[in-house]
């Protein structure tokens, strides 16, 4: 096949997205060194590209080199290369996964691990979630991993299945069995072994994205002092406003007026009032961000992804709705770029679209706050000493208690509630 410069060669699955890798050369695709589903590392050979005509030359050269040694006398065999034969080795260009290094170098960054530390951890079968990083923002450094190895603390063999650097998948015929020194009760061990060998059990390898999602979530739990506070919001006013204005809004902007733009605007307003919810820890310092890149969690086929609405405070309701629509569509098609999912300052997740009534969302570390939206349910509430039925939604704010005090978190969530219950003000100010 003829390959053009920058033509997509393969699609690389990372923890954040499926990323097309462009060819660094133009020429003829001579060989493919990997197959679909293979796990590759930086510098692994994935293909060979040669100049035009090299594929034909290669076949001819192989035949010519083999014939003299079998049929001719030693005097007849050529010991010098024919000047008319192109130097194939000089003209072919191995395409390695190093060409994708700029794309995948950040695979450990979201987890808070340097690439070198990832490689050392993988080589020593170390579970990174067991290590407390000493780098900026709690990032795990090479020295942290080496110190862990020297301490003699061994990680369970299953840890290699979620190590971001080199995920390993056990074969069906090799059940994961604890060591004899394990403190797990024999009955539990037997149950695990029985399930692994049971013909009714299907074993599936975790995708790269799912492995790192699992590691990221566990890292957030192990690192942050997470706490969740709850409130409920009366959605009557916002639903009435949408009913009155949606038709004109859609006609004018080409997009429907959804709930998410109201919550995004409300969150930005609350972050401006309580800036510690828009910060992160960097060693012994706090990094308070005076910009508002809001992550919107979106369900995709292979796991949750969080594309970012950049500088949400400067966007209109229509701008936010349009961007959410585009990013959600790209997420469902696995076409989000890494740049579209990196660097958020706060996250909003909506379990209500799946029917969730209440949950405690896990932080998107190193962020220190995440707002959980839920289902709108008709419930009886007391208003002016009367019981009335209103469309109510529970809100959940998970936060890092190391930075944010409980009183500040509660007031933040109350501010979000107040703004959502007074959407006209949001429209005027937004």
Question: Which domains, ranges and CATH numbers included, belong to the chain?
Answer: 2-102 (no CATH), 115-211 (no CATH), 225-429 (3.30.559.10)
Spatial strand order of the sheet with 2-3 comes to 2-3, 27-32, 45-50, 93-96
Provide the pLDDT for residue 312: 96
Question: Sorting pLDDT into bands at 50, 70 and 90, what band is 16?
Answer: low
The pTM for the full model equals 0.62
405 is catalytic: yes
Provide the pLDDT for residue 294: 98
Least-confidence region, from 142-156, 167-181, 416-430? 167-181
* Residue 187 C-beta-side C-alpha neighbours within 13 Å: 0
Which of these is catalytic: 106, 143, 232, 401? 401
* Residues 325, 260: Cα–Cα separation, whole Å: 11
Looking at the DSSP assignment, which residues form a beta bridge with residue 301? none
Angle between helices 317-332 and 236-253 (to 10 degrees): 80
Give the residue with greater pLDDT, 291 vs 150. Answer: 291
Which of these is catalytic: 6, 38, 285, 405? 405
Going by C-beta distance under 8 Å and a sequence separation of 6 or more, which residues neighbour residue 351?
359, 361, 372, 373, 374, 375
Residue 282's SS3 state is strand
Question: Sorting pLDDT into bands at 50, 70 and 90, what band is 77?
Answer: very low
Question: Sorting pLDDT into bands at 50, 70 and 90, what band is 392?
Answer: very high
Question: Residue 16: what are its φ and ψ, rounded to 5°?
Answer: -100, -35
Q: What is the CA radius of gyration of the chain?
A: 28
Provide the pLDDT for residue 260: 96
Question: Sorting pLDDT into bands at 50, 70 and 90, what band is 53?
Answer: low
* Residues 27, 57: Cα–Cα separation, whole Å: 14
285 is catalytic: no
* Residues 396, 129: Cα–Cα separation, whole Å: 26
Give the residue with greater pLDDT, 29 vs 220. Answer: 220
């Amino acid at each position: 096949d003829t390959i053009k410069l920058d033509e997509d060669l393969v699609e690389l699955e990372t923890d954040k997205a499926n990323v097309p890798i462009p060819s660094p050369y133009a020429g003829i695709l001579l060989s493919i060194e990997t197959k679909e589903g293979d796990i590759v590392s930086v510098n692994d050979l994935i293909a060979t590209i040669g100049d035009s005509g090299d594929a034909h030359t290669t076949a001819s050269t192989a035949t010519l080199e083999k014939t003299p040694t079998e049929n001719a006398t030693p005097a007849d065999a050529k010991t010098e290369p024919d000047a008319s034969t192109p130097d194939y080795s000089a003209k072919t260009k191995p395409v390695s996964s190093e060409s994708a290094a700029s794309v995948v170098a950040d695979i450990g960054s979201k987890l808070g691990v340097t690439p070198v530390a990832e490689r050392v951890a993988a080589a020593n079968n170390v579970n990174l979630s067991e290590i407390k990083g000493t780098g900026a923002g709690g990032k795990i450094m090479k020295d942290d991993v080496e110190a862990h190895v020297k301490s003699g603390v061994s990680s369970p063999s299953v840890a290699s299945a979620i190590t971001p650097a080199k995920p390993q998948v056990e074969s069906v015929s090799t059940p994961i069995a604890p060591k004899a020194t394990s403190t797990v009760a024999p009955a539990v061990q037997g149950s695990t072994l029985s399930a692994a060998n049971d013909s009714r059990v299907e074993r599936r390898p975790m995708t790269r994205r799912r492995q790192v999602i699992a590691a990221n979530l566990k890292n957030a739990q192990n690192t942050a002092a997470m706490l969740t506070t709850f409130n409920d919001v009366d959605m009557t006013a916002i639903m009435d406003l949408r009913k009155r204005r949606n038709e004109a809004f859609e006609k004018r902007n080409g997009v429907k007026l959804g709930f998410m733009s109201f919550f995004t605007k409300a969150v930005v307003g609350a972050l401006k009032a309580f800036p510690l919810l828009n910060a992160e820890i960097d060693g012994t310092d706090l990094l308070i961000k005076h910009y508002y890149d809001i992550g919107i969690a979106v369900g995709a086929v292979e796991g949750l992804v969080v594309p970012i609405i950049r500088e949400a405070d400067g966007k209109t309701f229509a701008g936010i709705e349009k961007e959410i629509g585009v990013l959600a569509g790209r997420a469902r098609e696995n076409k989000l770029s890494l740049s579209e999912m990196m660097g958020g300052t706060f996250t909003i997740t909506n379990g209500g679209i799946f029917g969730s009534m209440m949950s405690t969302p896990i932080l998107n570390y190193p962020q220190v706050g995440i707002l959980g939206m839920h289902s709108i349910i008709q419930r009886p509430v007391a208003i002016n000493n009367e019981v009335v039925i209103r469309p109510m939604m529970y809100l959940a704010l998970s936060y890092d208690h190391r930075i944010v005090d409980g009183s500040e978190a509660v007031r933040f969530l109350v501010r979000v509630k107040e703004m959502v219950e007074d959407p006209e003000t949001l429209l005027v100010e937004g």
